[in-house]
Chains A and B, each alone.
Chain A
Amino acid sequence: MSKRIELQKLNVYYSSFLAVEDVNMVIEPKAITAFIGPSGCGKSTLIRTLNRMHEVIPGARVEGQLLMDGEDVYGPDVDPVRVRRQVGMVFQRPNPFPTMSIKDNVLSGYKLNNSRMSKTEAEELTEKALVGANLWNEVKDRLDKPGSGLSGGQQQRLCIARAIAVEPDVILMDEPTSALDPISTAAIEDLAVELKEKFTVVIVTHNMQQASRISDMTAFFNIAGTGMPGKLIEYDRTEKIFSNPAEQQTEDYVSGRFG
């Protein structure tokens, strides 16, 4: 399953500080949507509102509406924990659980929630998720070794495996390749393209080539100055944003003539 996400008049706050203002957009299912923009414009803040991770920070709150296939994610009796089970997330820095083996890391979405499963089920699921994350061949002989013993790129793919093992509808990635070398980056980009067959994929990136290589839609955010809220400047098909953007700011940013 893959879901359509609608953001309507979304304002995102840290206590009284308005970090992102008035975002209206529709994120398409079975596609990759890239968030680009200068540092501090609120890309991470916005992507974290999509799975209600934003409110983990004390004082953080969200105004406006966020609909997932028409369902209000911020509705009054929505359990954020349930939202997060359907919206997986991959972070900038790989963060496998250091006390767990590779296999347990992949299954952590189940194990940490005390879900029971048979041994064969667990093995099948591990293999499926690791194959899905293009990591199976590299780790199949050492599934019981600690996950922190892998290389950075492998750890990041392990985190992706962990996220897809719970079969979410949406996968969010916040600069998943910024700590990785070009080869691992290419592996993860290929993976993202495969993932969009099944999931809605949202990716934050500072790498313009990456956005233009893999994404179907691109959202450009900008900020008027420090202390000002970030805003969605332009949102369109990726080719359009990179070849013929409607806004001058977007053109300046994607062509590197910025600031």
Chain B
Amino acid sequence: MTSQVTSSFQGTADLPKWVSPAMLLAFFMGSFTLQVMLASSTEQNELNLIPVAVFGLVGYAVALYALSRFVEGRRKATDRLVTILVTAAFSLALIPLLSLAYTVVQNGAARFDAEFFTFSMRNIVGEGGGALHAIIGTLEITGIATLISVPIGIMAAIYLVEYGRGTIARLVTFFVDVMTGVPSIVAGLFAYALFVIFFGPGVRMGLGGAIALSVLMIPVVIRATEEMLKIVPNELREAAYALGVPKWLTVIKVVLPTALAGIATGVMISIARVIGETAPLLIIAGFTASMNYNPFDERMMTLPVFVYTSYANQGVDMQSYVDRAWAGALTLMLIVMVLNLVARLISKYFSPKG
């Protein structure tokens, strides 16, 4: 009997699409009005938005669950409840992020001007001045750190995935794990100790900062590359071997290109991870108000250190120091954002098509 067969597939009625958003709106409005009334009755002037959100959300969740359970049945009601919980958790995680971005932009905008990007802090005590020396320093030091870390990291990952067997591979993996957990200040001290051997105590040098950052960066690059190489299907390697391609050419021309998009993303993430490091640079690169283009000599300013010193050593004209600190933070955030965009473009451009 066809009619019966069809009916066995039929579920309970669905709530119309508009019900859920309408209820959300209604409960938040209700919660808002309630708080306004409460606030006026207790003669508080300020309206607290947190209870508005909490009451609105809880009321909405309970009411929608009950309604859905009644109309749509248990499975769909649970589904709706879980959806609400997950979305709420996500929004909760998003709030500090948005608030952070907002604060940085708001405070950073004051000094985010042409002078900030064209001047150093040389001979400046009050207003004005800029962070060009810090931007150059950050770009040079992070750039050198990348140049050191990426080849080492990728080659180590290739060794681990394609060649490593037995004790040595396990040892390398172990040290990579340990290095991942090295505190950044320790990396700074390590670089300092290393340079003291060659240049004597009190050494300050941009290159030292790059070495310290490399110590932090290499394990991240290794891990990211390792994961990407592992997901290259073994069939592709075998296909190349079966064509009489030697192993090293297979790695260079088949495995690496297939994993390139993921590796590029991993490298960008590792750069973003170290570009904001302050502690090690404070130790080995030091800080200065002047421009220094040469990473192999003398102190070199970097953006995170610029932000830190502007904030920590506020001069007479306090506000202009604080403004510069925020503008530096904003610049740093924008650089990281640009890096992320570049990573996306790279992975889009290089990922296997088909």
Contact = CB atoms under 8 A, between A and B. Distances in A.
A86 B250 CA distance: 18
Interface in B229-278: 233, 235-236, 238-246, 249-250, 253-254, 257-258
B11 interface: no
A99 interface: yes
Interface string B151-167: 00000000000000100
A99 B352 contact: yes
B242 A89 contact: yes
A112 B354 contact: no
A166 B244 contact: yes
Interface stretch (A24-32, A50-58, A191-199): A50-58
Interface residues of B, number: 22
A51 B242 contact: yes
Given A53-B241, A85-B244, A166-B244, A112 B254 contact: yes
Contacts of A88: 242-243
Interface in B318-354: 352-354
Interface residues of A, number: 33
B167 to A, nearest CB: 14
Interface stretch (A63-71, A120-128, A144-152): A144-152
A146 B244 CA distance: 22
B242 A53 contact: yes
A51 B244 CA distance: 9
Contact of A95 (B236, B245, B246): B236
Contacts, number: 82
A56 B241 contact: yes
Contacts of A83: 244
A179 interface: no
A23 interface: no
Contacts of B243: 84-85, 88, 108-109, 112-113, 162-163, 166
Interface in A103-156: 108-109, 111-114, 146-149
A239 B238 CA distance: 34
B244 A97 contact: no
A61 interface: no
B349 to A, nearest CB: 12
A91 interface: yes
A98 B249 contact: no
A74 B198 CA distance: 54
B259 to A, nearest CB: 10
Contact of B240 (A51, A86, A112): A112
B249 A112 contact: yes
A86 B239 CA distance: 14
B240 A98 contact: no
Given A91-B239, A163-B243, A98 B165 contact: no
B286 to A, nearest CB: 45
Contact of B244 (A58, A84, A148, A149): A84
A1 interface: no
Contact of B235 (A86, A95, A109): A95
23 contacts: A56-B241, A58-B165, A81-B245, A81-B246, A88-B242, A91-B235, A91-B242, A95-B236, A95-B239, A96-B239, A97-B239, A97-B258, A98-B258, A98-B352, A98-B353, A109-B245, A112-B249, A112-B250, A146-B353, A148-B352, A149-B353, A159-B239, A162-B239
Given A53-B238, A112-B254, A114-B249, 10 more contacts: A81-B246, A91-B239, A97-B240, A97-B254, A112-B253, A113-B244, A113-B249, A148-B353, A149-B353, A162-B243
CB-CB nearest 7 A-B residue pairs:
A148-B354, A85-B244, A98-B352, A89-B242, A84-B244, A95-B235, A109-B243
